[in-house]
Structure 1
């Protein structure tokens, strides 16, 4: 494997197909010192018998050596013991009993081992959410490619410009307007950004299917939405304290707002070219209302309004 191979990308199929054999070789190609995810992937390969002969003893040893929160280590080792006792074609006992049996995936119940199934720390949750995000990004890109496959080149170019603007705005929102306090902050930020990216693709698909924002007078709706947005923005800019560890600041909101403007305009440009019946004013009004809702939500995080 290449010296810069990414063992997680190969194992989970992020940015390309799943390749367990390449993931195995990548994990073995790294020096012993500083190994982290390499050992984690080897643990999963041995536990599941992917590209290697199944070896639950080796998986258990790696489960202990990989480290992490004590509870996570205990859960991981217990799960491997449960897998060892699982009869062919059987399902784990906890999947059929108790009040939480519904929370387990079918793969888990059948004994498919994944390190993230037993993540308990905020740090590990952040990593696992990032892995899920990488897999979701590939699926999202495939949806976008399928959606625009037969579009004229001019429309594809407008979509490309919109995606660049959208991703810049979404990343700024996640970095500047999501509470970063607590140990699960990375997971929360990644989850919020993915939620917004999914909504972006869903809106494109709905517009392509004939949906349009419903306003009796789009021009009037746009003027009213603009007025509401400006008022909400002024209030948030007047906030003097969003909390000592939230990471939210007026400067960060200002930066995000500046990136939202080209995002809004790129939406209107694509809509005018691709879905003229939807109306650029209606699209703008719809997006402005959405942004105003975010700004009003930030008002509740501002301590200036809690005194």
Structure 2
């Protein structure tokens, strides 16, 4: 039944133009923005019959293999090799199957593909047609459609158009932060896989424990030590988690290259005292910060950081036995102190 529904949906796209769940060109009910956004709405209406080439849609031989696909992952190479052509086929399948609600799927990805000419022949009118079907703040919708019209007028030949170019809301900031994080994490995972490929089993087991501890700490940086009261909260939480993950890889690179700055036991002890002072200052000052972060959140994250620190030290003792424990301990401690200092200003 799903395949039959997909066939019907794709046939409608190919024969009757792009059918959109909502259309900026024909708003439902009263239009309070009619005067402000008349140009972009008129452009959307003018493109309502613009259909993709039938050859751009998935054929009978590929429809079954597209079930559950992710056009975002295929286009950007997130966790899998990039395949923009298959991303285009997948995006049509997401629409036909009713799976196009995710921020980077269906219409968004087809807009991107046709605007950039990556995965399909460039067609800025068709990209605009898909943009007309997105759901966004009025200023964002008008800005994106006007942006695409400008690209067409300039005969733009670039390949870096993105949904995120024209966002205006905190909600969309969160979508884009999560999208960027997925791309970055895929790159980090690939690099870590290359670095660790030849490690012996005991080192790999210790590293797996370290990765688990890193993930737990990074997640709490985003959920517990980020103020979640504003509209940009998802973007801010993602940024905090991303920062912890990027910091980890940075330290791993230094260790692999033998370039981690040396620190004596006395220097580590001094760094540890500064951390304790920052922690105490956070306890005293947390009540004046406002927002959603409380003392128990910082305590919870600090405990996760200690587990992460200890896992890193245990792994480093196996993988980098010539690196003084005090050097890595000091580096980790200084970074955690900087976070606490930044939180309380």
TM over 0.5: yes
SS at match of 1:18: coil
CA distance in structure 2 between the aligned counterparts of 1:210 and 1:84, rounded to whole angstroms: 51
2:201 and 2:99 mapped to 1: Cα distance?
A: 47
Aligned to 2:333: 288
Deviation at 1:34, TM superposition (A): 7.2
Deviates more, 1:180-189 or 1:253-262: 180-189
- Is residue 72 of structure 1 aligned with residue 140 of structure 2? yes
Q: Which moved more, 1:34-43 or 1:136-145?
A: 34-43
> Which residue in 2 is equivalent to 1:11?
75
Match of 2:274 in 1: 228
Task: Kindly provide the CA deviation profile for residues 53-104 of structure 1, in whole angstroms up to 9, marking residues without a partner as x.
Answer: 44333322221221312222222212222232234xxxx5xxxxxxxxxxxx
Judging changes above 3 Å, is the alpha-carbon distance between structure 1 residues 82 and 210 closer, same or farther for their aligned structure 2 residues?
Answer: same
Q: Which residue of 1 aligns with 2:202?
A: 154
The separation in 1 between residues aligned to 2:332 and 2:119, in whole angstroms, is 48
Deviates more, 1:119-128 or 1:109-118: 109-118
Distance 2:209 2:119 in 1: 41
Partner residue in 2 for 1:123: 171
Match of residue 105 from structure 1: none
Report matched runs for 1:146-295 at 5 Å: 146-215=194-263, 218-239=264-285, 241=287, 243-244=289-290, 246-295=291-340
Q: Which moved more, 1:174-183 or 1:49-58?
A: 49-58
- Alpha-carbon offset, residue 220 of structure 1: 2.4
The alpha carbon displacement at 1:169 in A equals: 0.6
Cα distance change, pair 34–157 in 1 and its aligned pair in 2 (3 A): closer
CA contact (8 A) 1:242 1:249 kept: no
Q: Relative to structure 1, is the Cα distance of residues 55 and 155 closer, same or farther in structure 2, using a 3 angstrom cutoff?
A: same
CA–CA distance in structure 2, aligned partners of residues 224 and 51 of structure 1: 55
CA distance in 2, matches of 1:212, 1:53: 48
Decide whether aligned partners of structure 1 residues 9 and 224 sit closer, same or farther in structure 2, where only a CA change above 3 A counts. Answer: same
**1:25-44 to 2 correspondences below 5 Å:** 25-30=89-94, 31=96, 35-36=100-101, 37-44=105-112
SS in 2 for 1:120: coil
Deviations 1:168-199 (CA, angstroms, capped at 9, x unpaired): 11111121112333222212221232222122
Cα RMSD (Å): 2.4
Question: How far 1:288 moved relative to its partner?
Answer: 1.9
Counterpart-to-counterpart distance in 2, 1:42 and 1:12? 13
- Work out the number of aligned pairs and report it: 277
> Does the Cα contact within 8 Å between 1:269 and 1:280 map onto a contact in 2?
no
C-alpha separation in 1, matches of 2:282 and 2:148: 51
CA contact 1:177–1:252 (8 Å) conserved in 2: yes
Aligned partners of 2:75 and 2:83 also within 8 Å:
yes
Q: CA deviation at 1:296?
A: 2.8
Distance between the aligned counterparts of 1:72 and 1:12, measured in 2? 23
State the alpha-carbon separation in 2 of the partners of residues 262 and 276 from structure 1: 20
The aligned residue for residue 88 of structure 2 is 24
Hey, what's the Cα distance between the residues in 2 that align with 1:299 and 1:111? 42
Partner of 2:152: 84
C-alpha distance in 1 between matches for 2:206 and 2:173: 36
Q: In 2 relative to 1, CA 32–278 (structure 1 residues): closer, same or farther, beyond 3 Å?
A: closer
Return closer, same or farther for 1:221/1:19 CA change in 2, 3 Å cut-off.
same
